[in-house]
Amino acid sequence: MSKIYENSLDTDIKKSKGIYYTPKIIVDYIVEKTLKNHDVIKNPYPRVLDISCGCGNFLLEAYDILYNLFEKNIYELADIYGKEYWQVDNIHNHVISNCIYGVDIDKEAIEILKKSLINKNKYLYIEKINIYCTDSLKKTWSNKFDYIIGNPPYIGHKGLDKKYKEYLMKNYNEVYRDKADLYFCFYKKIIDLLDDKGLASVITPRYFLESPSGKYLRNYIAKKADIKEIVDFLGANIFKNIGIASCIMTFCKKKIKKLEYVDVLKIMDESIKVDNIENLREFINNEGFKRFKVEQDSLKDEWIIINNIDKDFYNKIQQKCKYTLEDIAVSFQGIITGCDKAFILDKEDERINKIDSKLIKKWVKNKNIYKYVVKDSNYRLIYSNDIKDEKNNSIVIKECISKYREKLENRRECKNNIRKWYELQWGRDKKLFESVKIMYPYKSKENRFAIDYNNNFSSADVYSFIIKEEYKSEFSQEYLVGILNSSIYDKYFKLTAKKMSKTAYDYYPNKVMKIKIFKDNNYKEIENLSKNIIESLKKSSLDNESYVKIGHLQQKIDDLIKDSLEL
């Protein structure tokens, strides 16, 4: 029943509600990890909770494991606790009435779960069913739980309505701030509901491990819980057609005698398909994952979850470098037009000839940013923020912008009288774009830092930085792109970067601008090598020999960086 219902849901509905149903191998791994070794003799009333249970994939599996444990130990249970209650025919009732608890806002899913539990043996009596249709983040419980398992919903801050966000900010402010995701609140709820000797295991997006928005959640987990294990799938596509990078985290309440180390498992092959894995535990044991440990105490504001060799590499760079990019440069985002069709034109568009040339700017996007150089774009931006008078610029408004007036006027900034209807939504300070700057894409599979000498304006998927006045004599753009585009710095950044998918990393400035920078006696040579690379890349056509030459130049830069940082 659950499979039919899950498959019947529209993809947009799943996304809007944060519903991503869990593959069987994940369910099995989590339930076995938590429940398989439960001692039913010591505790014959284990409480198992899934606070976002849906159709009950986790709880139905938990039922099976608990039923088998009780059946296997029924005679010993009867001897200790009484033969009248502890009979095989009462196990079904006992598990459902005393052990299984679930909550979800989806009424249909809840009804399916109740029927599925009853149908485990529909001829036997059940005293009560502890499955509730309500918002688990608002529900209060009178008891704690021995085990909490599941797959909480993932909804970004933009997907929640204002009133609900206000509720979360008030009641979950220890973890939910800024650009937090809904599942951050579920982590807090789970920790708070865990018994002092309880154990939790959930699968969620892995973004909180590295993202700046996850800082408060990381702090809460470090303060309130001991992490036993992190299974990191990195960019592997665990949930079909979703593209969410995931991890399984298993943890318990913080103890006086805390766990010293966290077991970390990172998947080796991110291209693997879930359908090709029959049993996750066996796949892990057969070396499908890299294994290492990190110290529990090392998990503070920023979690550096890397092995000892990588940690030594990372720490050397952190310690050897005097500056951060933030110290020496000012970062800014590209322009948000609010309606590209109104402001972006093909450079061959005849209308450009009718527009005041002062309003036309070169326009680049993510795909135009390469290592070292910005490739020419076929598009131009109408920088309408420079229009001071509609009447004197009637041609550009009539020919290009006015046909989208209704959409433009509907923008929040226009409704609040912050922008005139024909202005860009966020035009930034144009002086920043009309200067030599270093540009980089906000999402990329590798470091791509390029010098823009041509006053390009960019879309919001590109970030830039300019060197501060007081550092212009200390650092050149050529030197900075030389080290930033090196294989050394590519590895250094990715060790703590937020991984978005199998091939993409997040390059938001809150992380990029923390990159450490050094300057020593290799400065001039690195700068000159970088200039040579840029000159080679500027040529209209490059043959294989040119690329080989560029590769050799980059290798020299890499070697100089290794020398400087003693790597």
Instruction: Reduce the secondary structure of 323-387 to three states and give it as a string.
Output: EEHHHHEEEEECEECCCHHHHEEECCCHHHHHCCHHHEEEEECHHHECCEEECCCCEEEECHHHC
Instruction: Give per-residue pLDDT as tens, 49-95.
Output: 999 999 999 999 999 999 999 999 999 999 999 999 999 999 999 99
**What average pLDDT does range 344-356 have in this prediction?**
92
The pLDDT tens digits of the residues spanning 456-468 come to: 999 999 999 999 9
pLDDT category, 99, cuts 50, 70, 90?
A: very high
Task: Tell me the two tokens of residue 545.
Answer: 């020999």
Which part of the chain has CATH 3.90.220? 327-389+424-565
Which part of the chain has CATH 3.40.50.150? Answer: 1-224
- Is the pLDDT at 124 greater than 70? The verdict is yes
The H-or-E segment that residue 281 falls in is: helix 280-283
17 pLDDT exceeds 90? no
For residue 4, the model assigns a pLDDT of 53
199: pLDDT strictly greater than 90: yes
**Residue type (1 letter), 465:** F
What mean pLDDT do residues 507-536 have?
Answer: 96
pLDDT of 365 higher than 70: yes
- For residues 199-220, average pLDDT: 93
φ/ψ of residue 444, rounded to 5? -160, 160
Beta bridge partners of 252: 199, 226
- Of 426 and 10, which is predicted with more confidence? 426
| DSSP symbol at 127 | S
Residue 419: name the closest of 337, 334, 331, 332 by CA.
Answer: 337
**What average pLDDT score do residues 532-546 get?**
86
Q: With the C-alpha atoms ordered 466, 472, 476, 480, is the resulting torsion angle positive or negative? A: negative
As a CATH number, domain 1-224 is 3.40.50.150
* Phi, then psi, of 433 in degrees rounded to 5: -75, -30
CATH dotted code for 327-389+424-565? 3.90.220
- Taking the CA atoms of 421, 427, 429 and 434 in sequence, report the sign of the dihedral they define: negative
Whether residue 8 is predicted with pLDDT greater than 70 in this model: the reply is: no
C-alpha 298/C-alpha 279 separation (Å) is: 31
Element (H, E) at 199: strand 194-205
Instruction: From 331, 330, 333, select the one nearest 468 (Cα to Cα).
Output: 330
Say what the pTM is.
0.83
Query: What tokens appear for 124 in the block?
Result: 């036997």
pLDDT at 7 over 60: no
Q: Alpha helices of 429-567 — where are they, by DSSP H? A: 430-433, 477-484, 487-494, 509-512, 523-537, 544-565
Residue 400 pLDDT grade (very low, low, confident, very high; cuts 50, 70, 90): very high
Q: Provide the percentage of residues in the chain whose pLDDT is more than 70.
A: 95
pLDDT, position 3: 55
Per-residue pLDDT band for 131 (boundaries 50, 70, 90) equals very high
> For the segment 485-502, what is each residue's pLDDT rounded down to a tens digit?
999 999 999 999 988 887
The residue that leads in pLDDT, 130 or 389, is 130
- Is residue 471 very low, low, confident or very high in pLDDT (cuts 50, 70, 90)? very high
> What pLDDT was estimated at residue 1?
56
Burial per residue of 100-139, b for 16 or more beta-carbon CB atoms within 10 angstroms, e otherwise: bbbbbbbeebbebbbebbeeeeeeeebeebbbbeeebbee
Do residues 305 and 249 touch, judged by C-beta distance below 8 A?
A: no
pLDDT of residue 16: 44
Q: In the predicted model, what is the mean pLDDT of the chain? A: 92
DSSP state of 133: E
Fill in the DSSP letter of residue 424. Answer: -
Q: Are 102 and 132 in contact (CB under 8 A)?
A: yes
Q: What is the amino acid identity at position 236? A: A
Q: CA-CA distance, 150 to 152, in Å (whole number)?
A: 6
The pLDDT of 239-244, averaged and rounded, is 73
Residue with the larger pLDDT of the pair 319 and 1: 319
* Segment 191-215 mean pLDDT: 93
Residue-level pLDDT at 14: 46
- Residue 154 has a pLDDT of 87
Q: Does the structure show a pLDDT above 50 at 444? A: yes
Say what the pLDDT of residue 518 is: 97
CA 399 to chain centre: 42
* pLDDT score recorded for residue 527: 98
pLDDT of residue 238: 85
Cβ neighbours of residue 216 under 8 Å, at least 6 residues apart? Answer: 174, 175, 176, 177, 180, 184
